[in-house]
Amino acid sequence: MDNSYGQIFKITTFGESHGKGLGVVIDGCPPGITIDYEFIQNELARRKPGQSKIVTQRKEDDKFDILSGVFEDKTTGTPISLIIYNEDQRSKDYSHIATKFRPSHADFTYHAKYDGYRDYRGGGRSSARETVARVAAGAIAKLALQQLGVQCYAYVSQVGALKLEKSYKELDLNQIDSNDVRCPDQDMAQQMYDLIDNVRKDRDTIGGIVTGVITGVPVGLGEPVFDKLHAELGKAMLSINAVKGFEYGSGFEGVTQRGSEHNDIFYAEDGSVKTKTNKSGGIQGGISNGEDIYFNVAFKPVATIMEDQDSVDTEGNIVTVSGKGRHDPCVVPRAVPIVEAMSAIVILDFYLRQKTKRLL
């Protein structure tokens, strides 16, 4: 609960933005997975600050250290502990926000929930820096899924009002990392880039949408009636900082359709059951049906802006919160690997859970 996710492949993250480091313990990873250190480091690099002009210019190398659960480069089935030490823990001056509640941040709610005990530096535990641990765990999940032929993709499909109207099927998902925005349509990527750059110059921020696509998922994953595959995917995505919505398959647009046009007709091909359309988004009754899974995740505009804002402090006094530091004008380019990571964790967990549905 709380800081753990998963039933079998179970991750527990820990750490604060400006503490000694961020980390994750993975309990339940099957033995024998080869740890590809370069792959994990590369996944972290896709998320790290400072990778392009349109993301925050903070500097973190995000080197990771595996403390346990791996022997001679193979997982052993015992808990994997992985830490990313924060490089710069010098006591910067955060006193200006120690008692102030930044608008639309979690300062106030953490303060109230935890009885006033709170590491306020950079948002502490509520900072999106926590997701670095998820990306590391997700990289290990991806390494396992590779053996099963499962691929987890994500890309930016909307920034502000700029919406990519093409379906994922019309895109080359191998081009996701070919530009800084992580939108595989180069024209749209350029427009998005320009918009984010303008927002940045305005000292403001803007929201966006990340689309996830998972291919190669075996039939049968998902555990109704509560742990439906899309319900857990939804929870996993909604647990990412700044996420405000989740939809899969036909999603919100599907409500306007009639059943006769929305239903996916089955047919058989090479001994497999397939569907002619895929409004279901690869999930029926909460269980994967073998078709591609696809979904959208909505991210709000980042709450930290560079302009002054009114607020209150812990004593109820009216105060001014001034934007400081180096923050993302738009979170979605760096959110892409996070969405992929959580996708991989969800699918691997359900894959392992499904193994318990056969006695012999």
Using DSSP, state whether 97 is helix, strand or coil: helix
The answer to the question of residue 291 lying near its own copies (CB under 8 A) is: no
**Which among 37-45, 173-181, 185-193, 349-357 is the span making contact with its own copies, rule CB under 8 A?**
349-357
Q: Is 33 a binder of its own copies (CB under 8 A)?
A: yes
Candidate residues 178, 190, 239, 322; the one interacting with its own copies per rule CB under 8 A: 239
Residue 96 DSSP class: G
**Shorter beta-carbon distance to its own copies: residue 174 or 316:** 316
Q: Which residue lies nearer to its own copies by CB, 176 or 342?
A: 342
CB of 230 to its own copies, least distance (A): 6
Applying CB under 8 A, among 160, 168, 175, 215 the residue interacting with its own copies is 160
- Can you tell me which of 174, 187, 310, 320 binds its own copies, judged by CB under 8 A? 310
The span of 17-25, 43-51, 56-64, 170-178 binding its own copies (CB under 8 A) equals 17-25
Under rule CB under 8 A, residue 197 binds its own copies = no
The nearer residue to its own copies, 152 or 172, going by C-beta atoms, is 152
One-letter-per-residue 3-state SS of 35-86: CCHHHHHHHHHHHCCCCCCCCCCCCCCCCCEEEECEECCEECCCCEEEEEEC
Tell me how far apart the alpha carbons of residues 302 and 299 are, in angstroms, rounded to a whole number: 8
Pick 45 or 148: Cβ nearer its own copies: 148
CB of 249 to its own copies, least distance (A): 6
Window contacting its own copies (CB under 8 A); options: 43-51, 56-64, 171-179, 243-251 = 243-251
45-74 residues in contact with its own copies (CB under 8 A) are 65, 67-69, 71, 74
* Residue with smaller CB distance to its own copies, 31 or 325: 31
Cis peptide before 213 (omega within 30 of 0): no
To its own copies, the closest distance from the beta carbon of 107 in angstroms equals 8
Which residues make beta-bridge pairs with 71?
74
Spatial CB neighbours of 270, under 8 Å, sequence gap ≥ 6: none
Least distance in angstroms from the C-beta of 151 to its own copies = 16
* In the complex, minimum distance from the CB of residue 344 to its own copies, in angstroms, rounded to a whole number: 13
311 binds its own copies (CB under 8 A): yes
Backbone angles phi, psi at 336, to 5 degrees: -55, -55
Q: Which long-range contacts (CB under 8 A, 24 or more apart) does 301-305 make?
A: 301/204, 301/205, 301/206, 301/207, 301/330, 302/205, 302/242, 302/327, 302/328, 302/329, 302/330, 302/331, 303/102, 303/103, 303/104, 303/105, 303/205, 303/242, 304/102, 304/105, 304/205, 305/203, 305/204, 305/205
In the three-class reduction of DSSP (H, G, I as helix; E, B as strand; rest coil), residue 116 is classed as coil
Which of 50, 149, 285, 325 lies at the binding interface for its own copies (CB under 8 A)?
A: 285
Residues 78-97 touching its own copies, rule: CB under 8 A, are 78-81, 83
Per-residue contact string for residues 97-126; x = within reach of its own copies by CB under 8 A: ----x-xxxx-xxx-xxxxxxxx----xxx
Cβ 342 vs Cβ 240: under 8 Å: yes
216 binds its own copies (CB under 8 A): no
| Cβ atoms within 10 Å of 224's Cβ, excluding its own | 11
- Least distance to its own copies, CB of residue 43, Å: 19
Q: How many residues bind its own copies (CB under 8 A)?
A: 153
Instruction: Identify the residue whose tokens are 């994922």.
Output: 168
Q: Which residue is listed with tokens 């006695």?
A: 359
Q: Which of residues 130 and 185 has its CB atom nearest to its own copies in the complex?
A: 130
Binding to its own copies (CB under 8 A): which residues in 219-238? 219-228, 230-232, 234-236, 238
Question: Dihedral, CA atoms, 154, 228, 133, 299, nearest 10 degrees?
Answer: 50
Q: How far is the CB of 159 from its own copies (least distance, A)?
A: 8
CA dihedral over 232, 235, 239, 240, signed as positive or negative: positive
Closest Cα to residue 293, out of 338, 234, 354? 234
